[in-house]
Structure 1
Amino acid sequence: MANSAWSEKIHKLLCRMNNFYLPGSCRADCCKFEIDGVQVGWIPPHVASLLTRYPEVFCPPRDGAVSLCHSLDTYERRSKAVDAVLQTLRQNGSLTCLKGWRDEKFSVMPKFSDPPLLWMERAATSLFGIKRFGVHINGYTVSDSGEVSMWLARRSPTKQTYPGLLDNVAAGGLAAGVGIKHTLVKECQEEACIPAAIAEKAQPVTTVSYTYEDEEGVFVESQFVFDLELPLEFKPRVGDGEVQDFYLLPIDKVKELLASDDFKPNSAMVVLDFLIRHSFIEPDTEPFYQEFVAGLHQTL
């Protein structure tokens, strides 16, 4: 593939994963989602109209914002009240994202370092444009001659999202109340049978952040990224069934695959960031270098 064609495809991927910022997105029509006057999300118009049916939980839209009722003044009360609404919306079946209900609790807060204001079912977070956090691990090897290769996972064909696509060696969402390093070790063990003694050597290197919209809502996501150099003799193994296979590939092949439709989009972004940080993509030869860097670190 010609370098210019590869660059164009990667640039389009980053634009797609940040389409909430582009002209023509629903951003101008979204309501801010506020709790005690602090914004924690973005509610698309079709969702805001549904929430008016639940005035005991959500105040009517005012000044471009939907707020939780002030009587819901604790973490527990907010979480219970919002979950009851979501369970009702799930029963009537009109919102497709709720058909993927996971029974996973995600924390809702303005910034990651802030105390959570409530928890929300993971499948519903896109209805409120809640910031979602996860952990992604770049598993790689360095040969005796210095050649870098990367371990990629092939997602199970039965996965709820992006079935059968290429992925990082391990990754997972941050559930409410669970730490980053704990999630990293757990996902490495469960998905790739990487022992804790190896997983704990992973180095935190950056975050990759982006915001996109689709028919299911607004996805405001930030991934905590780790690099994990794996021993040359170690081979990841299929663990909990979320992955069907693992491949150890040279970096040139990994780079080529990034521009294909065979890669989970946000995981492709994580690998792109690895290629930039390890100087496999350089500003003298990559015309979109600045756009790549900016597109990997978009925050609202």
Structure 2
Amino acid sequence: MAGSSRSWAEGVLRLLNRMNSFHTQGSSKPVCKQFCVGGQAVGVVQPRLLPLLRGYPEVFQMTNGHVELSDHLRTFEQRSTAMEQVLRDWRERGLFNCLNKWRNEEFPVMSRFCDPPLMNIERAAVAGLFGVKSYGVHVNGFVRHEDGRLSMWIGRRTPQKETYPGRLDNLVAGGISAGLGVKETLVKECEEEACIPESIAQNARPGGTISYTYEDDAGIFPECQFVYDLEVPADFRPEVGDGEVLEFYLWSLEQVKELLAGSEFKPNCAMVVLDFVIRHGLLHADNERHYHQLVEGLHREL
């Protein structure tokens, strides 16, 4: 039978199921409450947080089965300040491990990416605690050889990284902080992580998005990644920049594709590569019978 082996497809489907675990049987989804700000649903709250939130009646209110930011917090600044005070209090009390990784980096909170932000929230708490969707940019760096073959630049995360140390990563990736645009974030991350100058980074072309929501002991994580493809010359070599990457490899697309079924990749980076493999025709409906499931698993909204 032509195409991917059954074991490869099963491995990749397991990955996609893990990254969409909030939608699977046994998750906390049926008992979670919507988190609303200014009358707009922006996240989800697990039942474990409800007793804590009731301790801040000036900030949170429970209405019609929802958790809402109090009506008297009407402005962007009021909401952002109130939320920061609550999170700093929780941090001082040592209530959540995620707050020990406080970055002093704010992420915008909105119902949809196209909407004006309703407030900002510390990055360490943006997803897990309040189930607010976070956004990032991932770049597939690739080389197109004279015979038409594609090779892909892959980074290996340093052993010192707090999350997924030593795992394989995309050429460049980063979260979109408050006040930054998508392409602006891409250019910044290219320079910081791989020493790619803006003159090259600006050539990156949008390839769509991937979306997923997973749940673990730390909370609920809805994420959307803007995917870009950056074709670089055969003699181009990325260089380690800010120390988040240990080294870079240039591997054939077939080799990279085979690695997706194992545990070498940071999971969401594997999804970005899978999306690239599908969009560039290495996988399609006639050579992979699970093609529809693979595509569907890359686009699961909260």
TM-score in same-fold range (> 0.5): yes
Residue 113 (structure 2) pairs with residue 104 (structure 1): no
Deviation at 1:49, TM superposition (A): 2.0
| Cα separation, 1, equivalents of 2:37 and 2:6 | 46
Deviations 1:9-57 (A, max 9, x none): 1001101101111121101111110112211000111122211111111
User: What are the ranges of 5 or more consecutive residues in structure 1 without an aligned counterpart?
Assistant: none
TM-score by length of 2: 0.97
Alignment of 1:98-247 (within 5 A): 98-125=99-126, 126-247=128-249
User: What are the ranges of 5 or more consecutive residues in structure 2 without an aligned counterpart?
Assistant: none
Q: Which residue in the other structure is 1:26 paired with? A: 28
Aligned to 2:271, the other structure's residue is in SS state: helix
| Cα separation, 2, equivalents of 1:148 and 1:37 | 48
Aligned residue type for 2:215: E
User: Is the contact made by 2:36 and 2:69 (CA closer than 8 Å) also made in structure 1?
Assistant: yes
Moved over 3 A (4+): none
Aligned to 1:127, the other structure's residue is in SS state: coil
Aligned residue type for 2:134: R
User: Is the contact made by 1:155 and 1:163 (CA closer than 8 Å) also made in structure 2?
Assistant: yes
Q: Which residue in the other structure is 1:88 paired with? A: 89
User: Is the contact made by 2:38 and 2:118 (CA closer than 8 Å) also made in structure 1?
Assistant: no
Deviations 1:52-89 (A, max 9, x none): 11111111x23221111111000000000000000000
Q: Which residue in the other structure is 1:76 paired with? A: 77
Q: Which residue in the other structure is 1:64 paired with? A: 65
Alignment of 1:272-287 (within 5 A): 272-287=274-289
| Cα separation, 1, equivalents of 2:294 and 2:51 | 37
Aligned to 2:60, the other structure's residue is in SS state: coil
User: Is the contact made by 1:31 and 1:48 (CA closer than 8 Å) also made in structure 2?
Assistant: no
| Cα separation, 2, equivalents of 1:108 and 1:81 | 14
Deviations 1:110-136 (A, max 9, x none): 000000000001111110000100000
| Cα separation, 2, equivalents of 1:28 and 1:244 | 41
| Cα separation, 2, equivalents of 1:160 and 1:75 | 31
Deviations 1:182-240 (A, max 9, x none): 10011011101111101000001110000111111110100000000011110000000
Aligned to 1:181, the other structure's residue is in SS state: helix
Aligned to 2:187, the other structure's residue is in SS state: helix
User: Is the contact made by 1:19 and 1:25 (CA closer than 8 Å) also made in structure 2?
Assistant: yes
| Cα separation, 2, equivalents of 1:69 and 1:53 | 13
Aligned residue type for 2:19: M
Aligned residue type for 2:12: I
Aligned residue type for 2:254: D
User: Is the contact made by 2:138 and 2:172 (CA closer than 8 Å) also made in structure 1?
Assistant: yes
Root mean square deviation, CA, Å = 1.1
Deviation at 1:90, TM superposition (A): 0.7
Q: Which residue in the other structure is 1:249 paired with? A: 251
Q: Which residue in the other structure is 1:269 paired with? A: 271
| Cα separation, 1, equivalents of 2:275 and 2:51 | 39
Q: Percent identity?
A: 52
